[in-house]
Amino acid sequence: MTETRETETINEAVALIDRGLGDISERSLVSSAEIADLLLDVRSLLTRVDVLAIQN
């Protein structure tokens, strides 16, 4: 069960990165705040994987 959750969370993180990269590639300028938001979103998803692993 934990492995399935980890896989789902990693897939969510990859999808988030893909969307972010798609948005960024269409523009010539990207603010550092937007990059920070993307990285924080990815970090929170990956942290959730660690928490689930510790709980089980």
pLDDT tens per residue across all 56 residues of the chain: 567 777 888 888 888 888 888 878 777 788 888 888 888 888 888 887 766 666 76
Q: What does pTM read for this prediction?
A: 0.58
Domain count, the chain: 1
pLDDT at 50: 66
pLDDT at 1: 55
Helix ranges, 1-56 (H)? 2-25, 32-55
Nearest CA to 2 among 52, 50, 51?
52
Containing structural domain, residue 31: 2-55
Cβ neighbours for 42, distance < 8 A, ≥ 6 positions apart:
13, 16, 17
